[in-house]
Amino acid sequence: MKDMNVGQSILSNRKRIGYTQSDVAAFLNISKAAVSKWEKGHSLPEINYLARLAVLFDITLDELVNYSPQLSRQQIRTLYHKLAGMFETDDYDDALEAVRNHAHRYYSCYRFLTVLTGLLLNHAYLKEDKTETFELAKQLISRVLLNSDSLHFKEQVTFFRAMIHLMEQQPSEAVDLLEDAALPKLPASTLLAQSYQMQGGNQKAKAVLQIEVYQNIVFIIGDLTMMIKSGLYDDLENLISRGETMDAAFNLKALHPNSMLNFHLVSAMQLVGDKKQCFHHLEAFLESVENLISDYYLHGDEFFTEIDEWVADFDIGKDVPVNFGIAKEQLANALVDNPAFSELKEDIAFKNIVHKLKKIVEEN
Protein backbone atom coordinates (compact mmCIF):
# COMPACT_ATOMS: atom_id res chain seq x y z
CA MET A 1 0.00 0.00 0.00
CA LYS A 2 2.04 2.90 -1.18
CA ASP A 3 0.74 6.27 -0.14
CA MET A 4 2.94 8.20 -2.59
CA ASN A 5 4.17 7.69 -6.12
CA VAL A 6 6.07 10.87 -6.82
CA GLY A 7 7.89 9.60 -9.88
CA GLN A 8 4.73 8.57 -11.67
CA SER A 9 3.15 11.90 -10.76
CA ILE A 10 6.08 13.87 -12.21
CA LEU A 11 5.98 11.79 -15.38
CA SER A 12 2.24 12.16 -15.96
CA ASN A 13 2.18 15.88 -15.14
CA ARG A 14 5.22 16.54 -17.35
CA LYS A 15 3.48 14.88 -20.27
CA ARG A 16 0.25 16.73 -19.45
CA ILE A 17 1.91 20.12 -19.97
CA GLY A 18 3.90 18.89 -22.97
CA TYR A 19 7.36 19.13 -21.39
CA THR A 20 10.31 16.85 -22.04
CA GLN A 21 12.67 15.72 -19.31
CA SER A 22 15.14 18.25 -20.66
CA ASP A 23 12.54 21.03 -20.32
CA VAL A 24 11.91 20.14 -16.68
CA ALA A 25 15.64 19.90 -16.03
CA ALA A 26 16.19 23.33 -17.55
CA PHE A 27 13.37 24.83 -15.46
CA LEU A 28 14.95 23.48 -12.27
CA ASN A 29 18.54 24.03 -13.43
CA ILE A 30 19.45 20.39 -12.87
CA SER A 31 20.52 17.50 -15.09
CA LYS A 32 18.14 15.51 -17.27
CA ALA A 33 19.47 12.37 -15.58
CA ALA A 34 18.14 13.59 -12.22
CA VAL A 35 14.64 14.00 -13.67
CA SER A 36 14.88 10.54 -15.23
CA LYS A 37 15.80 9.02 -11.86
CA TRP A 38 12.79 10.68 -10.22
CA GLU A 39 10.40 9.37 -12.83
CA LYS A 40 11.79 5.85 -12.56
CA GLY A 41 11.50 5.94 -8.77
CA HIS A 42 15.25 5.57 -8.25
CA SER A 43 15.40 8.74 -6.16
CA LEU A 44 13.13 11.43 -4.73
CA PRO A 45 13.30 15.20 -5.31
CA GLU A 46 14.33 17.42 -2.43
CA ILE A 47 11.53 19.51 -0.93
CA ASN A 48 12.60 22.74 -2.68
CA TYR A 49 12.36 20.99 -6.05
CA LEU A 50 8.94 19.60 -5.15
CA ALA A 51 7.65 23.11 -4.48
CA ARG A 52 8.99 24.39 -7.80
CA LEU A 53 7.58 21.39 -9.67
CA ALA A 54 4.16 22.07 -8.14
CA VAL A 55 4.37 25.62 -9.48
CA LEU A 56 5.44 24.36 -12.91
CA PHE A 57 2.56 21.88 -13.09
CA ASP A 58 0.08 24.31 -11.47
CA ILE A 59 -1.00 21.78 -8.83
CA THR A 60 -0.76 21.49 -5.05
CA LEU A 61 2.06 19.69 -3.30
CA ASP A 62 -0.37 16.97 -2.18
CA GLU A 63 -1.42 16.45 -5.78
CA LEU A 64 2.20 16.37 -6.91
CA VAL A 65 3.35 13.75 -4.43
CA ASN A 66 0.22 11.80 -5.30
CA TYR A 67 -0.53 11.30 -1.62
CA SER A 68 -3.59 9.11 -1.34
CA PRO A 69 -4.81 8.67 2.24
CA GLN A 70 -7.66 6.56 0.90
CA LEU A 71 -7.85 2.79 1.07
CA SER A 72 -9.68 0.51 -1.31
CA ARG A 73 -12.39 -1.73 0.12
CA GLN A 74 -10.11 -4.72 -0.25
CA GLN A 75 -7.35 -2.94 1.66
CA ILE A 76 -9.86 -2.03 4.38
CA ARG A 77 -10.97 -5.65 4.66
CA THR A 78 -7.38 -6.87 4.87
CA LEU A 79 -6.51 -4.39 7.61
CA TYR A 80 -9.74 -5.04 9.50
CA HIS A 81 -9.13 -8.77 9.74
CA LYS A 82 -5.46 -8.24 10.59
CA LEU A 83 -6.37 -5.90 13.45
CA ALA A 84 -9.25 -8.11 14.61
CA GLY A 85 -6.79 -10.99 14.77
CA MET A 86 -4.48 -8.91 16.95
CA PHE A 87 -7.22 -8.57 19.57
CA GLU A 88 -7.29 -12.37 19.73
CA THR A 89 -3.56 -13.12 19.75
CA ASP A 90 -1.80 -9.99 21.05
CA ASP A 91 -1.95 -7.85 24.15
CA TYR A 92 -5.11 -5.72 24.06
CA ASP A 93 -3.23 -2.45 24.50
CA ASP A 94 -0.91 -3.33 21.61
CA ALA A 95 -3.91 -4.07 19.40
CA LEU A 96 -5.54 -0.80 20.44
CA GLU A 97 -2.37 1.13 19.63
CA ALA A 98 -2.22 -0.53 16.22
CA VAL A 99 -5.78 0.62 15.54
CA ARG A 100 -4.85 4.15 16.62
CA ASN A 101 -1.79 4.22 14.36
CA HIS A 102 -3.73 2.97 11.34
CA ALA A 103 -6.51 5.47 11.99
CA HIS A 104 -4.06 8.38 12.12
CA ARG A 105 -2.27 7.19 9.00
CA TYR A 106 -5.51 7.20 7.01
CA TYR A 107 -7.26 9.97 8.91
CA SER A 108 -9.10 11.21 5.83
CA CYS A 109 -10.39 7.78 4.77
CA TYR A 110 -13.75 8.06 6.48
CA ARG A 111 -14.94 4.65 5.35
CA PHE A 112 -11.91 3.16 7.14
CA LEU A 113 -12.49 5.25 10.28
CA THR A 114 -16.10 4.07 10.36
CA VAL A 115 -15.01 0.44 10.07
CA LEU A 116 -12.36 0.91 12.78
CA THR A 117 -14.99 2.34 15.13
CA GLY A 118 -17.05 -0.80 14.68
CA LEU A 119 -13.93 -2.91 15.26
CA LEU A 120 -13.27 -1.15 18.57
CA LEU A 121 -16.82 -1.62 19.82
CA ASN A 122 -16.93 -5.26 18.75
CA HIS A 123 -13.86 -6.01 20.87
CA ALA A 124 -14.27 -3.56 23.77
CA TYR A 125 -15.66 -6.32 25.99
CA LEU A 126 -12.17 -7.87 26.10
CA LYS A 127 -10.94 -5.01 28.31
CA GLU A 128 -12.38 -4.33 31.75
CA ASP A 129 -11.44 -0.65 31.64
CA LYS A 130 -12.93 0.56 28.36
CA THR A 131 -12.07 4.25 28.84
CA GLU A 132 -9.22 4.40 26.34
CA THR A 133 -11.10 2.30 23.79
CA PHE A 134 -14.18 4.51 23.98
CA GLU A 135 -12.10 7.69 23.82
CA LEU A 136 -10.47 6.56 20.58
CA ALA A 137 -13.84 5.49 19.17
CA LYS A 138 -15.31 8.90 20.06
CA GLN A 139 -12.43 10.66 18.30
CA LEU A 140 -13.02 8.67 15.13
CA ILE A 141 -16.77 9.27 15.32
CA SER A 142 -16.27 13.03 15.71
CA ARG A 143 -13.84 13.03 12.79
CA VAL A 144 -16.34 11.30 10.50
CA LEU A 145 -19.28 13.46 11.60
CA LEU A 146 -17.31 16.67 11.14
CA ASN A 147 -15.61 15.94 7.83
CA SER A 148 -17.30 13.17 5.84
CA ASP A 149 -19.79 13.98 3.09
CA SER A 150 -21.32 10.50 3.32
CA LEU A 151 -24.70 10.34 5.06
CA HIS A 152 -24.27 6.58 5.30
CA PHE A 153 -21.01 6.85 7.26
CA LYS A 154 -22.53 9.52 9.49
CA GLU A 155 -25.54 7.34 10.19
CA GLN A 156 -23.29 4.41 11.09
CA VAL A 157 -21.08 6.35 13.49
CA THR A 158 -24.13 7.98 15.10
CA PHE A 159 -25.37 4.46 15.84
CA PHE A 160 -21.94 3.61 17.26
CA ARG A 161 -22.03 6.75 19.42
CA ALA A 162 -25.39 5.67 20.81
CA MET A 163 -23.90 2.25 21.59
CA ILE A 164 -21.13 3.92 23.59
CA HIS A 165 -23.69 6.00 25.48
CA LEU A 166 -25.51 2.82 26.47
CA MET A 167 -22.30 1.07 27.54
CA GLU A 168 -21.44 4.16 29.59
CA GLN A 169 -24.86 4.02 31.27
CA GLN A 170 -26.11 7.16 29.49
CA PRO A 171 -29.50 6.08 28.07
CA SER A 172 -30.87 9.63 27.79
CA GLU A 173 -28.07 10.63 25.45
CA ALA A 174 -28.67 7.51 23.35
CA VAL A 175 -32.37 8.35 23.11
CA ASP A 176 -31.56 11.88 21.96
CA LEU A 177 -29.43 10.49 19.14
CA LEU A 178 -31.78 7.74 17.98
CA GLU A 179 -35.30 8.92 18.77
CA ASP A 180 -36.01 9.75 15.13
CA ALA A 181 -35.29 6.10 14.24
CA ALA A 182 -38.78 5.24 15.52
CA LEU A 183 -40.44 7.48 12.94
CA PRO A 184 -42.32 5.76 10.08
CA LYS A 185 -39.95 4.73 7.30
CA LEU A 186 -40.56 5.28 3.61
CA PRO A 187 -40.42 2.21 1.31
CA ALA A 188 -37.39 3.49 -0.58
CA SER A 189 -36.31 -0.01 -1.62
CA THR A 190 -39.69 -0.69 -3.22
CA LEU A 191 -39.46 2.54 -5.20
CA LEU A 192 -35.88 1.76 -6.22
CA ALA A 193 -36.88 -1.73 -7.37
CA GLN A 194 -39.74 -0.28 -9.43
CA SER A 195 -37.32 2.19 -10.99
CA TYR A 196 -34.89 -0.57 -11.94
CA GLN A 197 -37.74 -2.61 -13.40
CA MET A 198 -38.92 0.31 -15.54
CA GLN A 199 -35.37 0.47 -16.94
CA GLY A 200 -35.48 -3.23 -17.73
CA GLY A 201 -33.23 -4.11 -14.79
CA ASN A 202 -35.24 -6.98 -13.34
CA GLN A 203 -32.19 -8.59 -11.77
CA LYS A 204 -31.29 -5.39 -9.94
CA ALA A 205 -34.90 -4.99 -8.82
CA LYS A 206 -34.91 -8.55 -7.50
CA ALA A 207 -31.65 -7.97 -5.63
CA VAL A 208 -32.90 -4.77 -3.99
CA LEU A 209 -36.05 -6.45 -2.69
CA GLN A 210 -34.23 -9.57 -1.50
CA ILE A 211 -31.72 -7.44 0.39
CA GLU A 212 -34.52 -5.46 2.02
CA VAL A 213 -36.39 -8.61 3.08
CA TYR A 214 -33.18 -10.22 4.35
CA GLN A 215 -32.23 -7.20 6.46
CA ASN A 216 -35.73 -6.82 7.88
CA ILE A 217 -35.87 -10.49 8.89
CA VAL A 218 -32.53 -10.24 10.71
CA PHE A 219 -33.61 -7.01 12.43
CA ILE A 220 -36.96 -8.51 13.46
CA ILE A 221 -35.31 -11.58 14.99
CA GLY A 222 -32.92 -9.26 16.81
CA ASP A 223 -35.83 -7.22 18.16
CA LEU A 224 -37.75 -10.33 19.22
CA THR A 225 -34.62 -11.59 20.99
CA MET A 226 -34.31 -8.34 22.93
CA MET A 227 -38.01 -8.42 23.86
CA ILE A 228 -37.58 -11.96 25.23
CA LYS A 229 -34.34 -11.19 27.07
CA SER A 230 -35.58 -7.94 28.59
CA GLY A 231 -39.06 -9.14 29.55
CA LEU A 232 -40.73 -6.71 27.13
CA TYR A 233 -43.73 -8.90 26.38
CA ASP A 234 -47.28 -9.70 27.46
CA ASP A 235 -47.30 -13.28 26.19
CA LEU A 236 -43.91 -15.03 26.13
CA GLU A 237 -45.20 -18.17 24.42
CA ASN A 238 -46.76 -16.14 21.60
CA LEU A 239 -43.61 -14.06 21.20
CA ILE A 240 -41.32 -17.08 20.95
CA SER A 241 -43.76 -18.82 18.61
CA ARG A 242 -43.59 -15.92 16.16
CA GLY A 243 -39.81 -16.07 16.12
CA GLU A 244 -39.85 -19.82 15.51
CA THR A 245 -42.37 -19.34 12.70
CA MET A 246 -39.97 -16.94 11.00
CA ASP A 247 -37.15 -19.43 11.56
CA ALA A 248 -39.18 -22.18 9.89
CA ALA A 249 -40.28 -19.95 7.01
CA PHE A 250 -36.79 -18.73 6.13
CA ASN A 251 -34.58 -21.51 7.50
CA LEU A 252 -32.85 -18.96 9.68
CA LYS A 253 -30.76 -21.40 11.71
CA ALA A 254 -28.89 -22.04 8.46
CA LEU A 255 -29.31 -18.65 6.79
CA HIS A 256 -28.34 -16.46 9.75
CA PRO A 257 -27.35 -18.77 12.62
CA ASN A 258 -25.84 -15.97 14.69
CA SER A 259 -29.28 -14.38 15.10
CA MET A 260 -30.97 -17.68 15.87
CA LEU A 261 -28.45 -18.92 18.42
CA ASN A 262 -29.08 -15.73 20.41
CA PHE A 263 -32.85 -16.09 19.99
CA HIS A 264 -32.88 -19.70 21.20
CA LEU A 265 -30.41 -19.03 24.01
CA VAL A 266 -32.49 -16.25 25.57
CA SER A 267 -35.67 -18.30 25.01
CA ALA A 268 -34.10 -21.19 26.93
CA MET A 269 -33.05 -18.80 29.69
CA GLN A 270 -36.60 -17.50 30.08
CA LEU A 271 -38.08 -21.01 30.03
CA VAL A 272 -35.59 -22.63 32.41
CA GLY A 273 -38.49 -23.61 34.69
CA ASP A 274 -40.05 -25.65 31.87
CA LYS A 275 -37.40 -28.27 31.15
CA LYS A 276 -39.04 -29.63 28.02
CA GLN A 277 -39.25 -26.22 26.36
CA CYS A 278 -35.89 -25.12 27.74
CA PHE A 279 -34.10 -28.14 26.28
CA HIS A 280 -35.98 -27.71 22.99
CA HIS A 281 -34.43 -24.27 22.64
CA LEU A 282 -31.02 -25.44 23.82
CA GLU A 283 -31.01 -28.11 21.09
CA ALA A 284 -31.96 -25.42 18.55
CA PHE A 285 -29.16 -23.29 19.99
CA LEU A 286 -26.72 -26.16 19.39
CA GLU A 287 -27.88 -26.53 15.79
CA SER A 288 -27.38 -22.81 15.20
CA VAL A 289 -23.91 -22.89 16.76
CA GLU A 290 -22.89 -25.81 14.57
CA ASN A 291 -24.16 -24.02 11.47
CA LEU A 292 -22.34 -20.83 12.42
CA ILE A 293 -19.01 -22.48 13.13
CA SER A 294 -19.06 -24.68 10.04
CA ASP A 295 -20.01 -21.76 7.79
CA TYR A 296 -18.61 -18.68 9.54
CA TYR A 297 -19.62 -15.98 7.10
CA LEU A 298 -22.75 -14.24 5.88
CA HIS A 299 -24.42 -15.81 2.87
CA GLY A 300 -27.65 -16.31 0.94
CA ASP A 301 -29.50 -19.52 0.15
CA GLU A 302 -31.87 -21.01 -2.43
CA PHE A 303 -34.41 -18.25 -1.70
CA PHE A 304 -32.01 -15.33 -1.19
CA THR A 305 -30.13 -15.91 -4.43
CA GLU A 306 -28.98 -12.29 -4.81
CA ILE A 307 -27.53 -11.82 -1.33
CA ASP A 308 -23.99 -13.13 -1.79
CA GLU A 309 -22.84 -10.39 -4.15
CA TRP A 310 -24.25 -7.74 -1.81
CA VAL A 311 -22.52 -9.30 1.21
CA ALA A 312 -19.23 -9.57 -0.69
CA ASP A 313 -19.32 -5.79 -1.13
CA PHE A 314 -19.41 -5.09 2.62
CA ASP A 315 -16.52 -2.98 3.88
CA ILE A 316 -15.27 -5.89 6.01
CA GLY A 317 -16.27 -8.56 3.50
CA LYS A 318 -18.55 -11.50 4.16
CA ASP A 319 -17.04 -12.50 7.52
CA VAL A 320 -18.92 -11.63 10.69
CA PRO A 321 -17.41 -8.72 12.68
CA VAL A 322 -15.95 -10.70 15.60
CA ASN A 323 -12.82 -12.79 15.11
CA PHE A 324 -13.53 -16.52 14.73
CA GLY A 325 -11.31 -17.58 17.63
CA ILE A 326 -12.93 -15.13 20.04
CA ALA A 327 -16.42 -16.15 18.91
CA LYS A 328 -15.64 -19.83 19.51
CA GLU A 329 -14.44 -19.10 23.03
CA GLN A 330 -17.62 -17.15 23.79
CA LEU A 331 -19.84 -19.90 22.43
CA ALA A 332 -18.01 -22.64 24.33
CA ASN A 333 -18.81 -20.90 27.62
CA ALA A 334 -22.30 -19.65 26.73
CA LEU A 335 -24.05 -22.31 28.84
CA VAL A 336 -21.70 -23.38 31.59
CA ASP A 337 -20.93 -19.79 32.66
CA ASN A 338 -24.56 -18.66 32.35
CA PRO A 339 -26.15 -18.07 35.78
CA ALA A 340 -29.62 -18.57 34.26
CA PHE A 341 -28.85 -22.29 34.00
CA SER A 342 -27.34 -22.72 37.47
CA GLU A 343 -30.22 -24.93 38.64
CA LEU A 344 -29.60 -27.27 35.67
CA LYS A 345 -25.87 -27.78 36.22
CA GLU A 346 -26.34 -31.25 37.70
CA ASP A 347 -29.03 -32.28 35.22
CA ILE A 348 -27.75 -35.08 33.00
CA ALA A 349 -29.58 -33.76 29.92
CA PHE A 350 -28.05 -30.31 30.44
CA LYS A 351 -24.60 -31.84 30.91
CA ASN A 352 -25.02 -33.69 27.63
CA ILE A 353 -25.90 -30.45 25.86
CA VAL A 354 -22.86 -28.71 27.36
CA HIS A 355 -20.69 -31.62 26.22
CA LYS A 356 -22.14 -31.45 22.70
CA LEU A 357 -21.50 -27.71 22.59
CA LYS A 358 -17.85 -28.06 23.56
CA LYS A 359 -17.41 -30.87 21.06
CA ILE A 360 -18.92 -28.77 18.25
CA VAL A 361 -16.65 -25.85 19.08
CA GLU A 362 -13.47 -27.89 19.53
CA GLU A 363 -13.89 -29.98 16.38
CA ASN A 364 -14.33 -27.02 14.05
Q: What's the CATH number where 46 sits?
A: 1.10.260.40
Report if residue 222 sits inside a domain.
yes
* The model scores a pTM over 0.85: no
Report if residue 198 sits inside a domain.
no
Question: In terms of DSSP H, where are the helices of the chain?
Answer: 6-16, 21-28, 32-40, 47-57, 61-64, 73-89, 92-105, 110-123, 131-147, 151-167, 171-178, 188-198, 202-230, 236-250, 252-255, 257-270, 275-294, 307-312, 324-332, 348-363
Query: Do residues 145 and 11 share a domain?
Result: no
pLDDT tens sequence across 6-58: 888 899 889 999 999 999 999 999 999 999 999 988 898 998 999 999 999 99
Report if residue 314 sits inside a domain.
yes
Number of domains in the chain: 3
Report if residue 359 sits inside a domain.
yes
pLDDT tens sequence across 164-213: 999 999 999 999 999 987 778 889 999 999 999 999 999 999 999 999 99
Taking all residues of the chain, what is their mean pLDDT, rounded to a whole number?
92
Query: Do residues 20 and 56 share a domain?
Result: yes
Total residues belonging to the chain: 364
pLDDT tens sequence across 288-342: 999 998 887 889 999 999 999 998 888 877 766 666 777 788 888 899 889 999 9
- Domain encompassing residue 155: 73-176
Report if residue 192 sits inside a domain.
no
Q: How far apart are CA 77 and CA 115, in angstroms?
A: 9
Query: Do residues 80 and 19 share a domain?
Result: no
pLDDT at 362: 86
Report if residue 204 sits inside a domain.
no
Burial 70-82 (b: 16+ CB within 10 A, else e): ebebeebbebbbe
Cα torsion angle, 332, 337, 341, 345, sign: positive
Report if residue 201 sits inside a domain.
no
